[in-house]
Structure 1
């Protein structure tokens, strides 16, 4: 049970919960009929989908020989390398998580019409292609973009479509900081793993750029992330942006300094992954939290 929990990788779930919260806040802000039961069900389905991604990624990395003990992979980040879980059981567990997500989501998707079904099918196919196949998306130069857009943008789109039955691409403007933050998680991992990925035949963006140039663009992406937080915060929150900015400065200063000065080497991978995940969690809570106060406050006064 413990190893199944590690395969699901709950420490990565904030990357799902934040876009879920964003989509649900968007519904509240536009006075869409989002019930509490639907909100809970969609959150659970998204978490099950994330657990499937994590488990299947672990499985395919193991069978392809990408994860090895000498690569300094964390024990809870490569369960099949260090644990006693048979690979077939990990594969079945990943499929089980997908099935759970489908059982929870499909009844609500069907009630809402074709649009949420389309988004759900795109999401499921992306999950399978991200880790599986001869050349998974995670092995290619656009893995960062796909993970950021599908999670940071696709999840809010899907939630809104379940409630409204429509494509509402406007939410992507709300989601820009979330998309960039999630992309940074992938870029941190891939830049730290340049040598390992090159040996295993991966063609990730940092492998193509090389660590020095990847580190340069990584710092630019961090700056862009903070800039979009400020811009989107000002547009959607007004004075609430000051609260968010002060809170991020007081609580997240050490995270941002580490990201701007990160060496992004294999030996520091675990610390730097903790840093980028922690920064995402902090920024996500601040962004959606203050946005939630603004949205709910407006709904109550409306």
Structure 2
């Protein structure tokens, strides 16, 4: 048996902020700006999202170990329990499959609820999109040519964990996707992609040995660092644009400005420290702090709109 600590590390429970962020932004937008929501669909969607995210990470943990990406001689992260605590890799695989089965069942329940509210076509669209999300989660590190071994890993991870999840959260509550919702989904896509870019830039040495050709390897250290900063800055600018266009409350303008200031100061610290496996721990903490502040910059104005007469 494994311990709760080992389970938490296999599913990387600390990184679930990413999916919770996209879910919260999409759901709060539907409630605060569109004025539509249903609590049962909200709860089932949240549980399904959490199960898919944890299952995807468990698959990643298993395949990173199985394919030799995570090795003792190249990996100093103590939370890699398959590497440093000799946890049998089969446990990670069992956890991943179990979580995906739970997510599949919840997805069927959610599709039934959505179909009841918005019609059969909506339910079918939700099922298809959910299945695609799970397929991307598996093939990110699984299969003969994993997405994480290509330069498109950030695009798929950012797109599905960020923008697609924001749009799904809106759709589950409202039954439609508007052009305004499409623009709102862009900042989450960019900020999620930046997390992957930092991770891959720090892991370039081990990824090369494992045969990966990530975007960071393709671009090199210098361009990869610039990409990290560009993703975050552009994400904040589009978030502010959403406030300016009244897609989000006007209060988003100052919260986005504060968030961008925090991001720029943090980027400067990250740049001085450099991007390598030895600096990966603090670099990931910094990029996650930027993502957390971004989430608050989007969510706080929406939450206040629900309870206070904010513009």
Q: Answer whether TM exceeds 0.5 for this pair.
A: yes
Of 258, 264, 272, the residue aligned with 2:275 is 264
Counterparts of 1:152-231 in structure 2, within 5 Å, are 152-168=162-178, 170-231=180-241
For residues 138 and 247 of structure 1, do their structure 2 counterparts lie closer, same or farther at Cα, with a shift above 3 Å needed?
Answer: closer
| Counterpart-to-counterpart distance in 1, 2:161 and 2:292 | 14
Which consecutive segments of 4 or more residues in structure 1 shift more than 6 A?
none
Return the alpha-carbon distance in structure 2 between the equivalents of residues 145 and 296 of structure 1. Answer: 36
Query: What stretches of structure 2 of length at least 5 have no aligned partner?
Result: 115-122
1:80 corresponds in structure 2 to 82
Report the Cα offset of residue 87 of structure 1: 1.2
Alignment of 1:118-157 (within 5 A): 118-157=128-167
CA positional deviation for 1:254: 4.3
Which residue is 1:241 aligned to?
253
Residues 1:262 and 1:109: Cα distance change in structure 2 (over 3 Å) = farther
TM-score by length of 2: 0.87
Which of 82, 103, 106 is equivalent to 1:104?
106
Q: How much does 1:19 deviate?
A: 0.6
Task: Give the conservation status (yes or no) of the 8 Å contact 1:152–1:178.
Answer: yes
Is the Cα–Cα contact under 8 Å of residues 222 and 259 in structure 1 kept in the other structure?
Answer: no
Once the two structures are superposed, residues 20-65 of structure 1 have per-residue CA deviations (whole angstroms, 9 ceiling, x without a partner) of 0111122212122x22232122112111111011110010010001
Hey, what does 1:56 align to over in structure 2?
59
Q: Is the 8 A contact 2:27 2:173 kept in 1?
A: no
Verify the 8 A CA contact 1:189 1:269 in the aligned structure 2.
yes
Q: TM-score, normalised by structure 1?
A: 0.90
Q: Distance in 1 between matches of 2:238 and 2:228?
A: 15
Summarize the Cα distance change of 1:169–1:133 in structure 2 as closer, same or farther, 3 Å threshold: farther
CA pair 215-240 structure 1, distance change in 2 beyond 3 A: closer
Extract unaligned runs of 5+ from structure 1.
Answer: none
